[in-house]
Amino acid sequence: MASLSHKDLLGIEQLSVEDIQLILDTAEALREVAARPVKKVPTLRGKTVVNLFFEPSTRTRSSFELAEKRLSADILNFSASTSSVTKGETLLDTAHNLEAMSPDIIVIRHQSAGAPHLLGRECRASIVNAGDGMHEHPTQALLDGLTVRTIKGRLDGLKVAIIGDVAHSRVVRSDTILFSRMGADVWVCGPPTLLPWEFEKLGARTTPHMEEAMDGADVIMMLRVQHERQNEAFFPSAREYASLYGLTRERMRSAKKGAIVMHPGPINRGVEIESEVADADYSVILNQVSNGVAARMAVLYLLSGNSGLEP
Amino acid sequence: MQLILRQGRVIDPSQKLNNVMDVGIDDGKIAALAPKVAGKGRKEIDVRGLVILPGFIDMHVHLREPGREDAETIESGCAAAVAGGFTGVACMPNTQPVNDSEAVTAFILSRAREAGKAAVYPVGAITKGLEGKTLAEIGEMRRAGIVAVSDDGHPVCNSQVMRRAMEYSRIFDIPVIDHCEDRDLAAGGVMNEGGWATRLGLRGMNPAAEEVQVERDAVLARQTGARVHIAHLSTRHALETVVRAKKAGVALTCEVTPHHLLLTDAAVAESSYDTNTKMNPPLRLQEDVDALARGLASGAIDVIATDHAPHSVRDKMLEFDHAPFGIVGLETAVSLVCDRFVRPGVLTLERLAELFSANPSRILNLGRGTLAVGSVADVTVLDLERKMDVKPGEFASRSRNTPFAGWKLTGGPALTVVRGKVVWSL
């Protein structure tokens, strides 16, 4: 049986097509744990997982925690607000202190791109990137891949449109690499002020026109737009943004029949997505949440030295 | 005679020399220069097979003293300079306190005298506290010994203030050195804006931030008639601006660093966010590197300077976003240039002498950069066959922040003479 040949999961960038398939297959197999009356398997019994969160996060953190609990791991939660980071301790100091407690896996969320890489170089434990700055959020892309594959039966040949604040999104980077690597036709769309230079190098086509991105799309993924960006001159107002890049029922008509709508959350109703669209039956936002636990279980399982399960 | 260097190849463009000769030194000055100097020196060194050049000057270093002696002191910085083949360094004013007064200038010079190795040429601040608002007492500092003014890493954004600084500098005939960066365009950036920044999720510094300021300085230099020197120029378009201004007769000069000549922004990715690839200006694109290399050979670029920026491990080993900009350069620059440009034939030894010695001396008006009889005996001797592994642990500098660790280089300094005294030898 195949296994993951990496010590750390720092980004989708490092994963081969086979790696991605292995993780998705494993996640699919582990998903049935959630359907059992006793939602727990003993796979990580006796292993210690540290959740090291330097950025507030409710969703990702609870998702990881649930995944760890379902795998029977011992969990240590460590967040920036309760840590010594505020007392001038550096990330490396923190890492070395944690390392002294012999964890097997460290899940890290950090505001700065590359922070997990620094940890990966310094720690024996496996590092899982739970989001680093504007760089990557690999488990989000894996759960997105799992969600689309489950519904559409495949990833290759699909047109995936990702729309919104591309510049500040780590999700779009991980998703673009994953979907394009798996053979999808990825379109990334947003105002040019929020489209970073040479985004095409990640494997997407880019356009400032939403119609072009939406035309015939199988999957529409909306990215969160923060109101504060209007103060940094990226766009004039949330109102104008919504009129140019908001996903409405009207705009959904140009997508392919049977297209699904995704969002990494938390959503801004009425800004990047109309409420009715977020709640429509083609919206799979809640499927993403449940798949998140399975995808993270798969990653933890495979990084702790296990081979893939039979799907 | 106090010292005779025997039978080295003397390269001195100021005298059009490229011959195997003896160099006799007495009383801290060049006393004799001939195929064979008669008599016996109190000290004689056989430098057969080596190259004798006018002393190298690094016109852009940070010595960190006063203020950050944990990262570098004037003494350790001077030790690093002479070990890297430099007989003199010009130190930037961003110390704590800032060198914006006669007292700080005097302090730096007195510490340098105590260290007794490389010559130290202080650069004074353009504005008080490097705040970009009001002019520092440039005349007082000049009397105390500054050779130029610069706000370096805190560039003067207000163009009216810059214009005044240029006008005022003409009283003393000293250059205004500018780190060109439009701080709004570069705001928040930690590496070059482009494909790699996009992929790495790091905030980019638009190359236009440098280019618009170089353009501004060219306009103001033309108008004021001041001597303006562009620090660590890093883009192809900025170099085009300098070339154009020079052709029009503007007194504009520029320097480049070895790292901008040898590395691109891909190094940030290849090193997986190693903060030793974080500097300002940031590492740019291959097309920029290629343009700088061409400018080095053609004469468009006047000077190679290191922007030696020591940082302690504690300060530098942080998240890429939070680590300070800059790398050390004094102990790698000459070897890097020998290995990558001189040995492959891109640069002649004459060009090397201009870039490292004659031009910085001329720009800063130091009266060095020559081995003519009667001149101060600052001499750099190179061994073009010397093998060197870059080992930061062995640096004389207090800091180790270099992206060149582990590089294997051929060619480098062998002997450094300052005011007639051998201050370092291999």
B320 and chain A in contact, CB less than 8 A: yes
Measured between CA atoms, how close is A311 to chain B, in angstroms? 33
Q: Is the Cβ pair A112, B272 closer than 8 Å?
A: no
Beta pairing partners, B123: B148
User: Is the residue at B125 inside a domain?
Assistant: yes
A-chain CB neighbours of B204 within 8 Å are 196-197
Mean pLDDT calculated for residue range B105-118:
97
User: Is the residue at B426 inside a domain?
Assistant: no
- The pLDDT confidence band at residue A3, using thresholds 50, 70 and 90, is confident
Residue A84: is its pLDDT beyond 60? no
The partner residue sitting opposite A134, judged by closest CB among B201, B272, B318, is B201
- The pLDDT confidence band at residue A262, using thresholds 50, 70 and 90, is very high
Q: Which of B191, B198, B264 to mutate to test the interface with A (most CBs of A within 10 A)?
A: B198
Mean pLDDT calculated for residue range B185-213:
97
- For residue A52, CA distances in Å to A44, A66, A95, A110, A293 come to 18, 15, 9, 8, 18
B-chain CB neighbours of A112 within 8 Å are 319-322
B184 and chain A in contact, CB less than 8 A: no
Number of H helices, E strands in chain B: 14, 18
The partner residue sitting opposite B198, judged by closest CB among A91, A133, A196, is A196
Residue B70: is its pLDDT beyond 60? yes
B290 and chain A in contact, CB less than 8 A: no
Collapsed DSSP state (helix, strand, coil) of residue B183? coil
Indicate which CATH number applies to the domain containing B227.
3.20.20.140
Collapsed DSSP state (helix, strand, coil) of residue B132? coil
- For residue B396, CA distances in Å to B52, B76, B80, B402, B424 come to 23, 6, 5, 13, 11
Q: Give the mean pLDDT of chain B.
A: 97
Q: What is the pTM of this model?
A: 0.94
Q: Which of A92-96, A118-122, A306-310, B290-294 has the lowest mean pLDDT?
A: A306-310
pLDDT the model gives residue B356: 98
The partner residue sitting opposite B273, judged by closest CB among A111, A117, A199, is A117
What is the ipTM, given to two decimal places?
0.93
**Interface of chain A against chain B, CB under 8 Å?**
13, 90-92, 110-115, 117-118, 121, 132-136, 170, 173, 196-199, 201-202
pLDDT tens, residue by residue, B31-51: 999 999 999 999 999 999 999
Whether residue B192 contacts residue B244, with contact meaning beta carbons closer than 8 Å, is answered with no
- The pLDDT confidence band at residue A172, using thresholds 50, 70 and 90, is very high
A-chain CB neighbours of B321 within 8 Å are 111-113, 133
Cα separation, B255 vs B355, whole angstroms: 9
Mean pLDDT calculated for residue range B99-105:
98
Cα separation, A34 vs B5, whole angstroms: 83
Question: How many inter-chain contacts (A to B, CB under 8 Å) are there?
Answer: 65
Residues of chain B numbered 196-235 and touching chain A (CB < 8 Å): 197-204
- For residue B379, CA distances in Å to B138, B331, B382 come to 31, 17, 10
pLDDT the model gives residue A307: 67
Beta pairing partners, A122: none
pLDDT tens, residue by residue, B228-286: 999 999 999 999 999 999 999 999 999 999 999 999 999 999 999 999 999 999 999 99
pLDDT tens, residue by residue, B376-392: 999 999 999 999 999 99
- Hey, how many other C-beta atoms are within 10 angstroms of the C-beta on A147? 24
B270 and chain A in contact, CB less than 8 A: no
Residue A70: is its pLDDT beyond 50? yes
pLDDT tens, residue by residue, B11-20: 999 999 999 9
Whether residue A129 contacts residue A6, with contact meaning beta carbons closer than 8 Å, is answered with no
pLDDT tens, residue by residue, A123-151: 999 999 999 999 999 999 999 999 999 99
Residue A100: is its pLDDT beyond 60? yes
Give the catalytic positions of B in this structure: 307
User: Is the residue at B135 inside a domain?
Assistant: yes
Q: Is A137 a catalytic residue?
A: yes
Q: Is B113 exposed, middle or buried, given 0-12, 13-18 or 19+ CB atoms closer than 10 A?
A: exposed
Q: Is the Cβ pair B198, A201 closer than 8 Å?
A: yes
Q: Which of A246, A198, A186, A254 is nearest to A222 (CA)?
A: A246
Mean pLDDT calculated for residue range A16-21:
97
Q: Which of B272, B274, B320, B322 to mutate to test the interface with A (most CBs of A within 10 A)?
A: B320
pLDDT the model gives residue A174: 98
The partner residue sitting opposite A118, judged by closest CB among B198, B201, B273, is B273
User: Is the residue at B300 inside a domain?
Assistant: yes
Identify the closest residue of chain A to B206 by CA–CA distance.
Answer: A197
User: Is the residue at B34 inside a domain?
Assistant: no
A-chain CB neighbours of B272 within 8 Å are 114, 117, 121
Mean pLDDT calculated for residue range A176-188:
98
Mean pLDDT calculated for residue range B174-199:
97
Q: Is A60 a catalytic residue?
A: yes
Q: Is A59 a catalytic residue?
A: yes
How many domains are contained in chain B? 1
The partner residue sitting opposite A135, judged by closest CB among B200, B317, B322, is B200
pLDDT the model gives residue A311: 43
User: Is the residue at B58 inside a domain?
Assistant: no
Measured between CA atoms, how close is A88 to chain B, in angstroms? 11
- For residue B69, CA distances in Å to A213, B59, B75, B399 come to 56, 21, 10, 10
Q: Which of B268, B273, B286 to mutate to test the interface with A (most CBs of A within 10 A)?
A: B273
Catalytic residue among A26, A60, A139, A206: A60
Q: Is the Cβ pair A198, B321 closer than 8 Å?
A: no
pLDDT tens, residue by residue, A217-261: 999 999 999 877 777 889 999 999 999 999 999 999 999 999 999
pLDDT the model gives residue A255: 96
The partner residue sitting opposite B320, judged by closest CB among A114, A170, A196, is A114
Q: Give the mean pLDDT of chain A.
A: 93
pLDDT the model gives residue A161: 98
Mean pLDDT calculated for residue range A95-99:
88
CA atoms within 13 A on the CB side of B323: 33
Mean pLDDT calculated for residue range B402-416:
98
Residue type, A199: F
User: Is the residue at B32 inside a domain?
Assistant: no
pLDDT tens, residue by residue, B291-346: 999 999 999 999 999 999 999 998 999 999 999 999 999 999 999 999 999 999 99
B318 and chain A in contact, CB less than 8 A: yes
Residue A87: is its pLDDT beyond 80? no
- The pLDDT confidence band at residue A88, using thresholds 50, 70 and 90, is low
Q: Is A170 a catalytic residue?
A: no
A-chain CB neighbours of B317 within 8 Å are 90, 92, 118
Identify the closest residue of chain B to A116 by CA–CA distance.
Answer: B319
Residue A80: is its pLDDT beyond 90? no
List for chain B the helix, strand, coil content (%; round to 5): 35, 25, 40
Collapsed DSSP state (helix, strand, coil) of residue A178? helix
User: Is the residue at B402 inside a domain?
Assistant: no
- What is the extent of the structural domain holding B173? 65-364
